[in-house]
Amino acid sequence: MSPCNDKIEAMLEKVQKAPRYTGGEMNAVHKDWDSVALHYGFCFPDTYEVGMSHLGMKILYGLVNREPDQVCERFFMPWTDMKALMEEEGIPLFSVESRHALSEFDMIGFTLQYEMSYTNILAMMRLGGVTVLSRERGEREPVVVAGGPCAFNPEPLADFIDAFMIGDGEEVTLLVTAAVRDWKKSGAPRSELLKTLARIEGVYVPALYDVACDDAGRILSVTPNCPEAPARVKKCVVTDLNTAYYPRSFPVPYTEVVFDRIMLEIMRGCTRGCRFCQAGMLYRPVRERSLETLRSLAKDLERATGYEEMSLSSLSSGDYTCLPELIRALMKDLEKERVSISLPSLRIDSVLKESLEETQKMRKTSLTFAPEAGTQRLRDVINKGVTEQDLMEKVTDAFSCGWNAVKLYFMIGLPTETYEDLDGIVDLARKVVGCYFAVPKDKRARGLRVTVSASSFVPKPVTPFQWYGQDTQESLKAKQQYLKEKFRSVKGVNFNYHTPELSYLEACFSRGDRRLGRVLLAAVDRGCILDGWSDLFSFETWMQAFADAGLDPDSFAYREFGRDEIMPWEHIDSGIDRSFLLREYDRAQEARVTRDCRLGCNGCGLQKWKGVCGYANAGHV
Amino acid sequence: MRMLATFEKSERLRHIGHLDIMRAMQRALRRSGLPVSYSKGFNPHILLTFASALSVGAAGEREILEATLDEAVAPEDFVAAMNGALPPEMQLSSARIVDDRRPAAMAMVKAADYRIRVTDASAAETLCAALPGFLAQGEIVTDRKTKSGIKPTDIRPLILSAEMDGDTLRARLTATEAVSCKPGMLMNALSAFAGIEVPRVMVTRERLLGENEDGQLLPLEAV
Ligand code: SF4
């Protein structure tokens, strides 16, 4: 432990939720600092409770710590009270495990899960004594890397991150840690390392690219400025999840975190092709873990963690080929341990009925359905292949199986939306209530709870809707008020929505470019941190930050990209072709659905990477 | 079968609350592979109790747990299995089988030994000097937090012994289900008596004590 331990101990007595900072959890990894060649600080740019719920962190933590000559320790964003004390006392951001300062690590890695955590990244670096701007970072300062879904548009963070890892991290992470380790030993200049990193497939080093744009900020070209950097950086794909690394143990927090359970990733990717969904594009192709692998992982994880609960995670668990068999097998394997198994993010057109009967023996948590849009027309526009009849059948099944709580997720502000589509949302909710009352009294559970949540649509890179500007805040607010009024007369339904301001900023950053680095710096200077927490979020301060940077946020959030325009992330190759996205964009305009590509390849672009997509040969375009 | 065991709550874990330590111990029992008993009923839980809740902020050297097992297990096997399933910060130091008819450990606790380290040297000196006079008082009234609010309580009879050496105050304080004196109450009263602000302290509960037939206080695990 570091010499400032006494000061840290005194601070811990003054802050809320001290266990966020104290570690000592079961399965936390402690290695002798001086005996390893590479120190990797894994940074989750949000609080401990959020970060410890994140599957990717558990995978990378185990992955790096499995290497005998490397250690991975965790960092989280401290809450404001702790941050203030640390600044006052001059205590740098320290790792959960050994309390070494962030600046003492050879390499630090941020996971980019949502845009609104970007300022936390800057704040964590500052607090940890790491130079924030990549170009000003000293020769022997930590190498700063980042990965995760938002890395597919890395540009807003290009000024701060030395190297991005694009796509699945299981393989590329170890290539990068090894390169950093060897570089450290070699004593070569930092610029050499950056070039070495750029040569690794899936690694994007922003400093090695020149971006030319016109006065309006339209990108004219993005060109590598050295031979080591590829013109386009291809994302990493782990083709076989059965042989890919998955942890068989991970730290178990003492205090409750957001997802406090075993997370078993049963598959990655989704073939549905919802047109608003970035994850559905980024994580392609679909890869499943085999039943045997999952059973073995589940048993080991249960033995290692002692958790009482397990959730099957993926974008669309209902699509797992043999879901009922899997659930049955897991329930049998873990019967003695009394583990309850929950199925999150079930889609309404999944093999739900059978699963419902299986899970009802276990705990009845509330069921979630995501029709996303209120009318069939709009659902066709977004390619959410779900019909009203589907939904009604599924909720009726759920109600007659004893569920009484249903959550319905919708989006407002979708391309082509009209007020008719909003009425559709109310209508659908009303019909769900009707389904409940249609189940005989003696067969249904008492106390119906229907929650309708309406979030604001944010256009995301690498989706068919990437060209659309976001609906304006005024329009979104009016739509929310309209729905709120309408729902007043619907008994049994609770209507939820958030102010569109956060979505607006998300829209700025999700499709933004390098200029936004200035905004991030100004925002963190003005104290915008932990913005995911509504009590800390200040929209006005963000607007001031945009003004400081001399940029108009509307020109980012509401921006319509031209069909032939170069996107700020054009040089990141997700494998999904622009021509496919444009085709999907056009079909959306015509409200034409595109089939699930398990039924036949739709030619998204991945088929050109040989052997990557297992479904690519199953049909023809 | 009932197993009584002593375990550590290390200084690193001092900010973890009682219920969270309890849950960590339950999970350790699940991990251990031991034949732990579950309660009957709809939401079965592991049969595990602690002799005494340890406050947030305090470490414990020999805290006491009682677990119920479905099959016989040798105490040394219990300790070995649990220590394999617990982080280094929460290791068991001993275990013994106790008779089913014995009252719950919780009901047998009479007192606890505390080690209270005052981190500020000058405060430590002041308190050290004040202690004899403090203890010589016939009555020491201080606030006690109870479920029904704050109640002034005479803690003098609850301080069974207290002595201070350098920066460390060692105190044996009454701790029963009905009435107990927490180290914080002692520190508040002592600091007030010495005329200083309550200083920062590091509290360690060294052991819990029970009574043998002769009314003698002994470590609870040995009673
Ligand atoms: S290559 Fe074809 S089958 Fe594979 S994800 Fe793309 S569209 Fe679907």
What does the DSSP assignment read for chain B?
-EEEEEEEE-GGGTTS-HHHHHHHHHHHHHHHT--B-B--SSS--B-EEESSPPPTTEEEEEEEEEEEBSS---HHHHHHHHHHHS-GGG-EEEEEEE-TTSPPHHHH--EEEEEEEESSHHHHHHHHHHHHHHHH-S--EEEEEETTEEEEEE-GGGEEEEEEETTEEEEEEEB-SS-B--HHHHHHHHHHHHTSPPPPEEEEEEEEEEE-TTS-EEEGGG-
Q: Is the CB of A613 under 6 A from ligand 1?
A: yes
Q: Is the CB of A285 under 6 A from ligand 1?
A: yes
Q: Give the residue, by CA position, lying nearest to ligand 1 atom 2.
A: A601
Single residue among B80, B105, B130 that ends a domain in this structure: B105
Q: Is the CB of A594 under 6 A from ligand 1?
A: no
My answer on whether B137 and B206 are in the same domain is yes
My answer on whether A472 and A396 are in the same domain is yes
* B30 shares contact with chain A (CB less than 8 Å): yes
CB atoms within 10 A of CB B136: 8
Look at chain B and report how many structural domains it folds into: 2
Å from CA of B61 to ligand 1 middle: 59
pLDDT of residue B120: 93
Does any domain span residue A562? no
pLDDT of residue B45: 87
Interchain proximity B16–A22, CB inside 8 Å: yes
pLDDT of residue A401: 77
Three-state secondary structure call for residue A612: coil
* A88 shares contact with chain B (CB less than 8 Å): no
My answer on whether A166 and A267 are in the same domain is no
Cα–Cα distances in angstroms (integers) from residue A153 to residues A160, A166, A460, A538, in the given order: 14, 10, 9, 24
Q: What is the pLDDT of residues B180-220, one digit of tens each?
A: 999 999 999 999 999 999 999 999 999 999 999 999 999 99
Q: How far apart are CA A128 and CA A133, in angstroms?
A: 14
Q: Give the residue, by CA position, lying nearest to ligand 1 atom 8.
A: A597
My answer on whether B120 and B214 are in the same domain is yes
pLDDT at B178 over 70: yes
My answer on whether B100 and B117 are in the same domain is no
Name residues whose C-beta falls within 8 Å of residue A413's C-beta, 6 or more positions apart in sequence.
A456, A457, A470, A471, A475, A476, A479, A500
My answer on whether A213 and A281 are in the same domain is no
The closest alpha carbon to B221, from B71, B26, B51, belongs to B51
pLDDT of residue B81: 97
Interchain proximity B29–A306, CB inside 8 Å: yes
My answer on whether B144 and B202 are in the same domain is yes
Does any domain span residue A523? no
Which CATH number goes with the domain that contains A478? Answer: 3.80.30.20
My answer on whether A62 and A164 are in the same domain is yes
Q: Is the CB of A263 under 6 A from ligand 1?
A: no
| CA A32 to mean position of chain CA atoms | 32
My answer on whether A285 and A430 are in the same domain is yes
Interchain proximity A305–B27, CB inside 8 Å: yes
Does any domain span residue A531? no
CB atoms within 10 A of CB A432: 26
My answer on whether B99 and B139 are in the same domain is no
Does any domain span residue A129? yes
Cα–Cα distances in angstroms (integers) from residue A176 to residues A128, A164, A181, A432, B188, in the given order: 22, 10, 9, 51, 55
My answer on whether A276 and A376 are in the same domain is yes
Å from CA of A462 to ligand 1 middle: 14
Does any domain span residue A526? no
Does any domain span residue A356? yes
Q: How far apart are CA A460 and CA A201, in angstroms?
A: 24
pLDDT of residue A602: 94
Cα–Cα distances in angstroms (integers) from residue B38 to residues A93, B48, B52, in the given order: 42, 9, 21
* A338 shares contact with chain B (CB less than 8 Å): yes
Point out the residue among B30, B33, B87 whose CB comes nearest to the CB of A25. Answer: B87
Structural domain including A488 reads 262-506+575-607
Look at chain A and report how many structural domains it folds into: 2
My answer on whether B161 and B211 are in the same domain is yes
In chain A, which stretches have pLDDT less than 50?
A: 1-3, 345, 347-351, 619-621
Q: B142: which strand partners?
A: B153
Q: Which residue of A has its CA nearest to B29?
A: A306
Q: Which residue of A has its CA nearest to B24?
A: A254
Question: pTM of the full predicted structure?
Answer: 0.93
Helix axes A118-127, A516-525, angle to 10 degrees: 60
My answer on whether A306 and A216 are in the same domain is no
Mutate to test the interface with A, among B8, B13, B14, B15 (most CBs of A within 10 A): B15
My answer on whether A438 and A480 are in the same domain is yes
My answer on whether A283 and A402 are in the same domain is yes
pLDDT of residue A368: 82
Interchain proximity B87–A254, CB inside 8 Å: no
Which CATH number goes with the domain that contains B92? Answer: 3.30.70.580
pLDDT of residue B42: 72
pLDDT of residue A318: 80
My answer on whether B134 and B68 are in the same domain is no
pLDDT of residue A349: 41
pLDDT at B48 over 60: yes
How many CA atoms are closer than 13 Å to the CA of B133, on its beta-carbon side?
A: 11
My answer on whether A199 and A274 are in the same domain is no
Does any domain span residue A268? yes
My answer on whether B81 and B121 are in the same domain is no
Q: Nearest 5°: CA angle at A232, between A229 and A233?
A: 75
My answer on whether A230 and A312 are in the same domain is no
Q: What sign for the dihedral angle of Cα A234, A239, A244, A247?
A: positive
Q: Is the CB of A604 under 6 A from ligand 1?
A: yes
CB atoms within 10 A of CB A597: 25
Q: Give the residue, by CA position, lying nearest to ligand 1 atom 6.
A: A604
* A214 shares contact with chain B (CB less than 8 Å): no
Atom of ligand 1 nearest to the CA of A580: 7
Single residue among B105, B122, B140 that ends a domain in this structure: B105
Atom of ligand 1 nearest to the CA of A607: 1
Point out the residue among A10, A12, A26 whose CB comes nearest to the CB of B87. Answer: A26
Structural domain including B75 reads 2-105
Which CATH number goes with the domain that contains A218? Answer: 3.40.50.280
pLDDT of residue A402: 78
Interchain proximity B24–A252, CB inside 8 Å: yes
